[in-house]
Chain A
């Protein structure tokens, strides 16, 4: 948790509160019922001491057995009602709270699905997780333990004062003379304990961070003989944590007895002053007992108030952060007039153009930088005709992946333009554009769920038969059938239980099932056995059939199959041509190819490693300065 998350502001903010209350709207009826029950519950609480007084004064003192029976019966009824009302009241409040939490969480999640991809480049996932989980829970506290309970407490307190006033106003004044004491004690305690709780939280966080870091870096610690010193450091953060806890223990040890002492003072006053009145003005013993009981019930909510205050403060801070996220601007979509598939004249005109351009991709003088002027792509121009297959070749950091991100409109180009089907990207609704383009990633990201849910990807229009057909065509059907549960087999997070080859085939199948007009293929580099390799090659051929293809190529075989090769180097298009033409040119591509052949000649490793040499060279070459100087990936082909 970063430091700014610790900052607490006001405990009450009208604007935030109104917005929060808005979430209660769908549950208005239940909230009203709960409010009624809260009042009922308070009334029941008030009845106990009064009935005790009745029993003592009119039953026992007057030796009236029948009256005692009656009071006892009333008392029992009241207890039963209290049980029922208390339970129902609690249920309603908690349920509404939980439902509101669900609504908020879903609203947040929906917002996260609509924020631009660039947002995720600058925001750590951990912080977003905190919004969806911890901050929502802080509001839960408010809903369940806070707001309504405060109203209940308030009502109880007022009711008690009223009851005591009716019993004996003079005695009430005497008893309440201790009230300032209660307030002083509670407030002092609240201030101190809040500070020490804040200490405890930060010190606990520090201790856990230290522990976590040491566990993760234990190898380094042991290697550098740091055990003794780290033990010493740990002992210190541990001691700090203990000491701030001991401070809190001290405050609690003082607070509770002092509070009880004030209570005892009130009781003593009642006994002394009330006792005298019993003798002189004839107030009853029952009144005294009821008074004592009321006093005890009065103090609890008062001393609880400080805790409620904390909950409120926490909830305000959390809701502010949640609303900030909800208010972030989401990706803009084109105005409906520009979108395809509308019935007006303009769309019809464009429809005519689509006939000629369907399946065409055009990059026109595309410039792009993630930040400032660190250009990742510079003046990139090339066309892919409908049905044409084009391979992109180049080093890591040469801009290949960025180009596909632009095509899918994860980012917008800085200069120039990209057209799909003859229409500029800005004119496409993102969903429609992405439906049109099939993307196969290098490391196919599978979701936790089943095989079928991964093939379907949330599209209910696709039947099981269609999915199975796609799986058969790419040769994934066989292995799926062999899995326990077949198409219903469980897929764990990121497809951890499947082999690299299986994941690849599933990715092909899910793309094929969508029948995209355009295909963007980021080929796999992970090693698979020869048989799977053959399967994948066959599947690829099937997948590329009749589609416009943009292939980020790593494999020799695919490169030779394509119609044209575009060589990207440091963000610029350097060479364009067929395999034979580029070899004859003797430029960058020729050298890449040579490297690969060299790698193969000495390669005695896994068969699958053979076809991957260009990428290895590519990775190696990329480690120079420039935007792509990511840590070099260790590839087997680098040393064969």
Chain B
């Protein structure tokens, strides 16, 4: 990845070296100027020295500008590339991964850790080179002036690096502890606010306040611990560099008095020493940057090393994939479950046991069953949100595992149980699963889903934003939006996972009427708890504890007088109750 920026980086590092080398000639000019002052000098010559000093600053400043622009700029580009790569990879990971990993942690990889890597590659690299160049050159010049003086006055400087390195690391650790405690504190406030009614009901306010105060005291103590460490660093550094300056002043002064070096050399020497100060601080800092950067990079690699859902499709750029994967969609295809037994990774009981049935092309099969019966699992296996065992789930006569994910999912329109809308406009959300959607098409499917009336009432109609920065939709509105989304995909297979549970009976009737036409052209699997929804299906499959308990048409199952018949009676009673 860095390879792309090799030339840029080379130029950037060249700039670091050049700006340093040029700036390091300044003490030499000062030296001649001072010595001349004492030997007698013309005002003209003095003016020339001033001009040279300024010229050095101009040229060195120019390279310094390029240095920052190039090196720091490249680190931003690298961060950008790495973040893109991370995002692309995350999109390739199987859903299983996201159920295990916490969103907050992944976010932290993509933000804090990426920042740490960038700091290592940008400022870290820049100041590392800077330190090396400045140290080598100025120590060289200083040695030329007086080896003894150099050795003595340089004594405190490694301490500076050491102090920054050691204290820096300790400060960082304490800081992280504080952050962790802060998270606890926040969680505590969150808990209190979420449980506000319980707190009030039990008149617990005073106790809560006391607990909060105790946590705060602990937080305070941790902060004070950090302060006592970090507060030492800056005065300590000032002290150490001051001691170095003092040593130069004192020892150098004695050398001047003894006639070993000239006053000009003395001034040059102290200037070099002053110039060494910052690189020494930077060195300790750079070590920390590299330590943190490497640790962060390893954490990022942990994600990048996660196997993709489809290794063979995992590589190659998105642009390539978009053009290559545009095979045509088959028209009418059937579904088959063949002796399907499925256990979730990590679970010890199968969610589905020996499920076998087919949905012929263009037919509608309804699935009923109590919560936990395995209905949603069954549907999730078709688009391979979870991997079914080989030879158990077939689409168009082909094991779904032999399809590419892209192709497989293009054949499926699914309205999942818990609808997920993005912070975008209503129209964008409905058209989320298609490349280009005509407004007319969006309006048509919205009408089918019985959402058109609602949308017209929104402040900006189809252009109304939903989510964080927009309006909040009710559960029923969200469900209908996902139905519209699934229908708009115009895929030969339609999966409806209990997606009418939050709408009232009347609206449900309307939606079902509209959907009927769509279902006739498609192969449909529909999960519902309502008899009214499933009654007209070509076949009704009753799942119980992961296995098929009953199968048949509405009339057939009523005659059978089993689980389904009980459900029907129960719902009749409920309707009567509601009407009373």
CB within 8 Å of B: which residues of A? 2-3, 48, 52, 55-56, 59-61, 63, 65, 68-69, 72, 75-76, 79-80, 82-84, 86-87, 90-91, 94-95, 98-99, 102, 105-106, 109-110, 112-114, 117, 120, 125, 128-129, 132-133, 208-209, 211-232, 234-235, 238-239, 241-242, 245-246, 249-250, 252-254, 256-258, 260-261, 263-265, 267-269, 271-272, 275-276, 278-279, 285, 289, 405, 408, 410, 430-431, 434-435, 437, 439, 441, 445, 447-449, 457-459, 493-494, 510, 514, 569, 587-588, 591-592, 594-595, 598-599, 601-602, 605, 617, 620-621, 623-625, 629-632, 634-636, 638-640
Interchain CB contact under 8 A, A272 and B577: no
Q: Could you say which residues of chain A place their CB within 8 Å of the CB of B552?
A: none
Given A75-B249, A261-B58, A595-B574, check contact A434 B220 (CB 8 Å).
no
Interchain CB contact under 8 A, A219 and B416: yes
Interchain CB contact under 8 A, A212 and B107: yes
Q: Could you say which residues of chain B place their CB within 8 Å of the CB of A120?
A: 193, 196
Given A221-B91, A253-B72, A636-B371, check contact A55 B566 (CB 8 Å).
no
B293 in the interface, Cβ–Cβ < 8 Å?
A: no
Interchain CB contact under 8 A, A102 and B216: yes
Interchain CB contact under 8 A, A260 and B61: yes
Interchain CB contact under 8 A, A106 and B578: no
A-B contact pairs, 15 of them (CB 8 A): A55-B250, A55-B253, A79-B238, A99-B220, A213-B467, A219-B416, A230-B91, A238-B80, A242-B76, A242-B77, A246-B76, A257-B61, A260-B64, A264-B54, A268-B50
Q: Could you say which residues of chain B place their CB within 8 Å of the CB of A94?
A: 223-224, 227, 231
Interchain CB contact under 8 A, A95 and B232: no
B574: which of A225, A620, A631 is its contact (CB, 8 Å)? A620
Q: Could you say which residues of chain A place their CB within 8 Å of the CB of B209?
A: 106, 109-110, 113
Interchain CB contact under 8 A, A268 and B372: no
Given A117-B200, A215-B107, check contact A636 B370 (CB 8 Å).
yes
B465 in the interface, Cβ–Cβ < 8 Å?
A: no
- CB within 8 Å of A: which of B405-433? 405-406, 409-410, 412, 414, 416, 420, 422-423, 432-433
Majority DSSP secondary structure for residues of A touching B: helix
Q: Could you say which residues of chain A place their CB within 8 Å of the CB of B309?
A: 222
Minimum Cβ distance to chain B for residue A432 (Å) = 8
Report the nearest B residue to A252, measured CB to CB: B68
A75: which of B246, B406, B476 is its contact (CB, 8 Å)? B246
Interchain CB contact under 8 A, A213 and B422: yes
A595: which of B188, B219, B409, B570 is its contact (CB, 8 Å)? B570
Given A76-B246, A640-B370, check contact A624 B257 (CB 8 Å).
no
Q: Could you say which residues of chain A place their CB within 8 Å of the CB of B57?
A: 260-261, 263-265, 268
Interchain CB contact under 8 A, A639 and B577: no
Minimum Cβ distance to chain A for residue B313 (Å) = 10
Interchain CB contact under 8 A, A638 and B370: yes
Interchain CB contact under 8 A, B53 and A275: no
Q: Could you say which residues of chain B place their CB within 8 Å of the CB of A254?
A: 65
A117 CA / B205 CA spacing, docked (Å) = 13
Given A75-B246, A249-B69, check contact A434 B76 (CB 8 Å).
no
Minimum Cβ distance to chain B for residue A241 (Å) = 8
Interchain CB contact under 8 A, B236 and A83: yes
- CB within 8 Å of A: which of B212-266? 212-213, 216-217, 219-220, 223-224, 227-228, 231-232, 234-236, 238-239, 242-243, 245-246, 249-250, 253-254, 256-257, 263, 266
Interchain CB contact under 8 A, B54 and A457: no
Q: Could you say which residues of chain A place their CB within 8 Å of the CB of B50?
A: 268-269, 271-272, 275
Q: Could you say which residues of chain B place their CB within 8 Å of the CB of A434?
A: 200-203
B254: which of A65, A110, A289 is its contact (CB, 8 Å)? A65
Q: Could you say which residues of chain A place their CB within 8 Å of the CB of B69?
A: 249-250, 253
B128-136, B395-403, B444-452, B498-506: which lies at the interface: B498-506
Q: Could you say which residues of chain B place their CB within 8 Å of the CB of A98?
A: 220, 223-224, 227
Interchain CB contact under 8 A, A234 and B54: no
Minimum Cβ distance to chain A for residue B63 (Å) = 9
A257: which of B37, B65, B200, B580 is its contact (CB, 8 Å)? B65
Interchain CB contact under 8 A, B578 and A621: yes
Interchain CB contact under 8 A, B577 and A279: no
Q: Could you say which residues of chain B place their CB within 8 Å of the CB of A95?
A: 224, 227
Residue among B77, B203, B406 having the largest count of chain A Cβ atoms under 10 Å: B203
B82-90, B143-151, B167-175, B355-363: which lies at the interface: B82-90
Q: Could you say which residues of chain A place their CB within 8 Å of the CB of B573?
A: 591, 594-595, 598, 617
B103: which of A109, A216, A242, A245 is its contact (CB, 8 Å)? A216
Report the nearest A residue to B217, measured CB to CB: A102
Q: Could you say which residues of chain A place their CB within 8 Å of the CB of B7?
A: none
A249 CA / B118 CA spacing, docked (Å) = 13
Given A222-B385, A261-B58, A447-B195, check contact A634 B103 (CB 8 Å).
no
Minimum Cβ distance to chain A for residue B267 (Å) = 7
Minimum Cβ distance to chain A for residue B75 (Å) = 9
Q: Could you say which residues of chain A place their CB within 8 Å of the CB of B433?
A: 223-226
Interchain CB contact under 8 A, B103 and A215: yes
Given A79-B242, A109-B212, A234-B87, check contact A219 B80 (CB 8 Å).
no
Q: Could you say which residues of chain B place their CB within 8 Å of the CB of A510?
A: 202
Interchain CB contact under 8 A, B420 and A217: yes
Interchain CB contact under 8 A, A65 and B54: no
B492 in the interface, Cβ–Cβ < 8 Å?
A: no
Minimum Cβ distance to chain B for residue A406 (Å) = 13
Minimum Cβ distance to chain B for residue A619 (Å) = 10
Q: Could you say which residues of chain B place their CB within 8 Å of the CB of A48?
A: 242, 245
Interchain CB contact under 8 A, A238 and B563: no
Q: Could you say which residues of chain B place their CB within 8 Å of the CB of A224?
A: 409, 432-433, 485, 489
Report the nearest B residue to A331, measured CB to CB: B200
Q: Could you say which residues of chain A place their CB within 8 Å of the CB of B216?
A: 102, 105-106
Minimum Cβ distance to chain A for residue B466 (Å) = 12
Q: Could you say which residues of chain B place their CB within 8 Å of the CB of A441?
A: 198, 201
A239: which of B80, B188, B243 is its contact (CB, 8 Å)? B80
Q: Could you say which residues of chain B place their CB within 8 Å of the CB of A276?
A: 43, 46
Minimum Cβ distance to chain B for residue A419 (Å) = 19
Interchain CB contact under 8 A, A264 and B200: no
Q: Could you say which residues of chain B place their CB within 8 Å of the CB of A232?
A: 318
B383 in the interface, Cβ–Cβ < 8 Å?
A: yes
Residue among B46, B47, B196, B529 having the largest count of chain A Cβ atoms under 10 Å: B196
Q: Could you say which residues of chain B place their CB within 8 Å of the CB of A632?
A: 501-502
B330 in the interface, Cβ–Cβ < 8 Å?
A: no
Minimum Cβ distance to chain B for residue A232 (Å) = 7
A-contact 0/1 string along B164-194, CB 8 Å cutoff: 0000000000000000001001111111111
B368 in the interface, Cβ–Cβ < 8 Å?
A: yes
B509 in the interface, Cβ–Cβ < 8 Å?
A: no
B567 in the interface, Cβ–Cβ < 8 Å?
A: yes
A3 CA / B77 CA spacing, docked (Å) = 28
Assuming A234-B87, A631-B501, what are 7 further A-B pairs, CB within 8 angstroms? A60-B253, A94-B223, A209-B468, A222-B91, A230-B91, A457-B202, A598-B566
Q: Could you say which residues of chain B place their CB within 8 Å of the CB of A214?
A: 87, 90-91
B84: which of A68, A234, A253, A258 is its contact (CB, 8 Å)? A234
Minimum Cβ distance to chain A for residue B461 (Å) = 22
Minimum Cβ distance to chain B for residue A106 (Å) = 5
Interchain CB contact under 8 A, B68 and A87: no
Minimum Cβ distance to chain A for residue B534 (Å) = 11
Interchain CB contact under 8 A, A639 and B563: yes
Minimum Cβ distance to chain A for residue B285 (Å) = 17
Minimum Cβ distance to chain A for residue B246 (Å) = 5
A-contact 0/1 string along B76-118, CB 8 Å cutoff: 1101100110011011110100100001001100110000000
B514 in the interface, Cβ–Cβ < 8 Å?
A: no
A320 CA / B199 CA spacing, docked (Å) = 28
Given A72-B250, A117-B200, check contact A275 B33 (CB 8 Å).
yes
Interchain CB contact under 8 A, A268 and B371: no
Q: Could you say which residues of chain A place their CB within 8 Å of the CB of B371?
A: 634-636
Interchain CB contact under 8 A, A226 and B432: yes
